[in-house]
Structure 1
């Protein structure tokens, strides 16, 4: 295996995001789930929030060294570069980041990459917990069973979205403009809120499948990383997002 410093340099390289394609309806209707909830308490700002657990808290899925590098280097870099881009491009950082993402085609590539990177990671940290795992219950559990047939089918389809994402990107569980649960994936740091994303809607759960999220422990075995990741999913948080959105 290559030295750690070389490996870090390799997995920290960020490719330029390609243009997404609009699928389904107009931008207005595709973003309706977001726009109807623009004042929600779980909107994300421009600053990096403290990690809600220790670096070694999720070792069933993610080792402490990866968590520390991921949070303090990769994610911190997105937050810093986002703020730089926002200042340069005259963005009001007192407003939710979702407002920028929903109109991301108006902004630079730097804004797109770093706004997406920051939003995705802030959601990612909260979507995991040392007390996570198991199956979702309540309205979310019922909606998943209704939408996909069973939790097991949902888990397989979501895992496949992560495994089959070519290169770097994310797998998503999201609500479309009709508030139906959907599974999809996006390249690089795109997400369903973006008006130029391949899929459109409100993200509930996102899985980071960039190599820097798992390479130190799993090397090229992305499927093993995904299988273990289910052990730390914070369904209470995802349930709150779902209920707030609907």
Structure 2
């Protein structure tokens, strides 16, 4: 993929674009299309609050989703009032995030990153597709080596932030971590690409259950990764069809 075309993908996400992953009932019995970034709508959770137990507890899920995530969304929507960004796809906003306020950067990132996080988890996550598995082996040597490298990025990240698996402009799979609510789509990120797998390492994501044992939380994350969604997102990115 040529770098110019790749960067255009980072800046283009049509309203209504989605990463297929089926529809699942949330804690209130409603549904959502996994991966949907249609406009700036607060997403419904695709599973019950207790669906990821014992690895992520119901109380943490409820507080994280309904307080933290919703808070980022509410503040983001307030911050973009009158800016002309109310219908701008998130990747386009991130591609020029250096031009906007810290309030838009922090809360827009929190809104978007959490949606990816919920979607790339599932009580029945399965395994990577054969094609994605081959790509992981090609880029990291083995699936176990990939998991170790991703886990180390999450465990060693200082302070609040995220660990990412992303695809760069040359279609290579890479791992990075970002501070606060930044992500690889932002023009201020030293490592840019299409995010495929996200892990929240803010303390509010794990402290009620794990306290200061971030490593245990990271290790248990593999038991709830929704590899179907991650594989689909990667396939779209490889084909140049990723939209956000």
Q: Deviations over 1:122-162 (max 9, x none)?
A: 000000001015x3122111100111011000000000000
- SS of the equivalent of 1:87 reads coil
The reply on whether 1:181 has 2:173 as its aligned counterpart is yes
Which of 94, 102, 107 does residue 100 from structure 2 map onto? Answer: 107
CA distance in 2, matches of 1:105, 1:95: 16
Q: Deviations over 1:69-94 (max 9, x none)?
A: 00010000000011011114x13322
Q: In the TM superposition, what is the alpha-carbon distance from 1:32 to its structure 2 partner?
A: 4.4
Q: CA RMSD in A?
A: 1.7
User: Which ranges of structure 1 fall in alignment gaps of 5 or more residues?
Assistant: 1-25
CA distance in 2, matches of 1:33, 1:164: 30
* 2:44 aligned partner: 50
1:65-76 matched pairs, under 5 angstroms: 65-76=59-70
* 1:143 aligned partner: 135
* 1:34 aligned partner: 10
CA distance in 2, matches of 1:61, 1:168: 20
* 1:217 aligned partner: 209
The question of whether the paired residues in 2 share the 8 Å contact of 1:60 and 1:228 is answered with: no
CA distance in 1, matches of 2:186, 2:55: 29
After the TM superposition, which parts of structure 1 deviate over 6 Å for at least 4 consecutive aligned residues?
A: none
Q: In the TM superposition, what is the alpha-carbon distance from 1:199 to its structure 2 partner?
A: 1.6
Provide the aligned length of Structure 1 versus Structure 2.
217
Q: What's the TM-score, normalizing by structure 1?
A: 0.84
* 1:98 aligned partner: 91
